[in-house]
Amino acid sequence: SNRNDLCKFPEPPGHPLLGHISTITSTTSIIYNLSRYIENYGNTLKLNIGPSVFPLSKSLVTIDYKFVKFVLSHNKILKKSQNYQFFRRWLGNGLLISDGDYWRRHRKILTLAFHTEILKDFVGVFESVGDVLIGKLGKYDGKSSVDVHRLVTLCALDTICETAMGTKMNVQSGENSQYVESVQQMGRIVIERTLSLIKVSKYTFWLTRDYYIQKNALKILHGFTLSVIDSKRNKPVEKTTKRMAFLDLLLKVSHDENILTIGELQEEVDTFMFEGHDTTAAGISFILYCLADHPEEQEKVLQEQKELFGDDKNPPVTYSDLQDMKYLECVIKETFRLYPPVPIIGRYTTEEIKFDDSLIPKNTNIIFFIYGLHRSSEFFPQPEKFKPERFQNFNSAFPYAYIPFSAGPRNCIGQRFAMLETKSIISKIVRHFEIKPTLPRHELKLSVETVLKSVNGIKVTLKKRN
């Protein structure tokens, strides 16, 4: 029977009723526990994350190369795992969680908005928004520490608004943003609902404080995206032969071709606003943290900048300059290996699938533990070590061993956007500041809150370069 097929996979002992949520109880214990399970039970294992009412009560967790490749490249396993349902109230049927023909149609349209020619136009915005960040970081010159994550997040939000959405929001000019706070809350709540006996069901969720936090957060999140849409909607889209950026394109498609209702449009704006800033903000912050810990590698990044721009700290950076920052690219890749901003993703089988000698039954959640995959010594010798050089001759015979942007038909649509933005910001910061570890050294407390976070922030010390 179906169940028997999953039973072929090793399963750690769990609580008879609660399964494995009795060990995986919080967003901060996920990485530790999954890593330990894999160490002890192998690269693919069966977990029951919660009793049968739980979305992940029947799951395979994997870092097995062949299995990862098989599923992610499969053209019929495109549905997201059941825990993504907790995003619905926020992101509706946006690209991250939609599936079937609806997803296919939207993916095709939205791909146009990330064309190279459009990305080239964004470089100036990455630069000018980044300059505001440099000004804000300057206030921490010589101070004992700065939590870069908070400041970088505001910068990344301004960036996605001014590029894809075509609207200046200037969130960086304030210290806080209710939108940013609400994103953090929702990212956490979505994961906690997967792990909590009370939060999992809507009938008991409302008894918790998080229900009210979510209710308030959703009001703020949707209010913000609506204001972004409104600021564009009332302006007639210029008749132009130029390629159109994300929101212009969506407005045009919804207006001219009637394929997209305004509600559907807002769901995509909510999705891209979130995916387009929370991920890059985490990524950029982890890179700064790694550079602080690795002065030699930081020096190489700086030398590369000097080769490109001499001693000019504020050069007019072009798209092609960003392409030429090869060593920096290795640093970014190595950081995304050790700290993948999206550490876990999931798929769901809608029919029985045959893989090797196994039949994976219909209705199985397949969870890809990207964080664990990236630390496997099979593909990354001395996996715990920060070695950007490994990407100078990375063995591309195993493309599915390194998947910070996922892979296959549902990979990250914003991957090239993210790389350009990250290069623009990091190169700028390195030209202006020496990044050093705080004293005593700040130890990250990693937490899977959809995006990888550190519950105590991501802190470094900054010193202005002469």
Q: Which long-range contacts (CB under 8 A, 24 or more apart) does 165-174 make?
A: 165/228, 165/232, 165/245, 165/246, 165/247, 165/269, 165/273, 166/232, 166/245, 166/246, 166/247, 166/248, 167/228, 167/231, 167/232, 167/247, 169/228, 172/129, 172/132, 172/133, 172/136, 173/132
| Spatial contact of 428 and 137, defined as CB atoms under 8 Å apart | no
From the CB of 409, what's the least distance to ligand HEM, in Å? 8
**Nearest distance, CB of residue 292 and ligand HEM, angstroms:** 19
Binding-site string for ligand HEM from residue 116 to residue 155, where x marks contact by CB under 6 A and - marks none: ----------------------------------------
Short-list 223, 230, 238, 240, CA closest to 262: 230
The distance of Cα 280 from the centroid of its chain, to the nearest Å, equals: 7
By CB under 6 A, tell whether 343 contacts ligand HEM. Answer: no
Strand pairing report for 56-62 and 365-369: parallel
Q: How far apart are CA 174 and CA 138, in angstroms?
A: 16
The answer to whether 70 contacts ligand HEM (rule: CB under 6 A) is no
Task: By CB under 6 A, tell whether 413 contacts ligand HEM.
Answer: yes
Establish if 279 lies at the interface with ligand HEM (CB under 6 A).
yes
Measured from the CB of residue 62, what is the shortest distance to ligand HEM in angstroms? 14
Judged by CB under 6 A, does residue 426 bind ligand HEM?
no
Q: Which amino acid is at 144?
A: S
Stretch that binds ligand HEM, among 24-32, 58-66, 337-345, 349-357 (CB under 6 A): 337-345
Which residue number, 166 or 283, has a Cβ lying nearer to ligand HEM? Answer: 283
Angle 380-388-324 (CA atoms, 0-180°, nearest 5)?
135
Q: How many residues bind ligand HEM (CB under 6 A)?
A: 24
Q: How far is the CB of 466 from ligand HEM (least distance, A)?
A: 31
Interface with ligand HEM, residue 272, by CB under 6 A: yes
CA distance 134 to 427: 11
333 counts as binding ligand HEM under rule CB under 6 A: no
Q: Which stretch binds ligand HEM (CB under 6 A): 307-315, 390-398, 406-414, 437-445?
A: 406-414
Q: Which of 14, 52, 350 is closest to 197 using CA atoms? A: 52
CA distances, 229 to each of 102, 106, 118, 440 (Å): 22, 18, 19, 45
Region binding ligand HEM by CB under 6 A among candidate stretches 137-145, 247-255, 298-306, 402-410: 402-410
Nearer to ligand HEM, 271 or 461 (CB): 271
**Contact map string, positions 21 to 60, toward ligand HEM, x by CB under 6 A:** ----------------------------------------
CB of 115 to ligand HEM, least distance (A): 13
Question: Would you count residue 404 as binding ligand HEM (CB under 6 A)?
Answer: yes
Least distance (Å) between residue 27 CB and ligand HEM: 17
- Residues 6, 46: Cα–Cα separation, whole Å: 7
Residue 374 within binding range of ligand HEM, rule CB under 6 A: no
Alpha carbons within 13 A on the beta-carbon side of 264: 16
CB of 373 to ligand HEM, least distance (A): 12
Alpha-carbon gap, residue 318 to 331, rounded angstroms? 20
Among 30, 60, 152, 164, binds ligand HEM (CB under 6 A): 164
| Whether 361 contacts 6, CB under 8 Å | yes
Q: Does 283 bind ligand HEM (CB under 6 A)?
A: yes
**Torsion angle, CA of 21/29/415/315, rounded to 10 degrees?**
160
Q: Strand order of the sheet with strand 44-49? A: 44-49, 56-62, 365-369, 344-348
Q: CB 368: neighbour CB atoms within 10 A?
A: 27
Residue 418, interface with ligand HEM (CB under 6 A)? yes
* Closest-approach residue to ligand HEM (CB): 414
Site for ligand HEM in 71-90 (CB under 6 A): 80
Q: Which residues of the shown chain bind ligand HEM in the complex (CB under 6 A)?
A: 80, 95-96, 107, 164, 271-272, 275-276, 279-280, 283, 341-342, 345, 404-406, 410, 412-414, 417-418
